[in-house]
Amino acid sequence: MSEITSDSGVMAALRHQMTLAAARQAVAASNLANVSTPGYKTREADFEQALDGKLGDSLRLTNSRHLPAAAPAGPASHEAEGLAARADGNTVQIDRELLSMTQAAGEFARAQTALAAKFRLVRYAINEAR
């Protein structure tokens, strides 16, 4: 059975989707918080680094005494390119950030709905076994 079709693979994929959506929302919220900061450059969630982190999660420890790699403190991000700067040098666009937050909220909600359905199936299976 492939990893994605197993229960643990589905759960991991949903968790990963929710984590990325939350990171996108956090970065957009940070941008909105700095909308009036002169010289502030808009940030974007860094999906390449998140993907590298996900691939790194699949590495196995060679010795039980080794410690796993620490998770980053916050969402990985990089400066957004190609955005027009206002006179004060700030590149935050409120509409762009609100759209990003709305899309991320939708992605999170879809993954959360799928996860809740998976738990309902498990609960049903447990209750039927009694």
**Does residue 62 lie in a domain region?**
no
**Does residue 67 lie in a domain region?**
no
Amino acid 39: pLDDT? 96
**Does residue 48 lie in a domain region?**
yes
Average pLDDT for 49-76: 55
pTM across the whole model: 0.71
- Asked if residue 3 lies in contact with residue 55, where contact means CB atoms within 8 angstroms, the answer is no
102 or 121, higher pLDDT:
102
- Asked if residue 4 lies in contact with residue 42, where contact means CB atoms within 8 angstroms, the answer is no
Q: Which residues constitute the domain of residue 106?
A: 7-57+73-129
pLDDT at 61 over 90: no
Tokens, residue 67? 């410690």
**Does residue 123 lie in a domain region?**
yes
Q: Give the number of domains in the chain.
A: 1
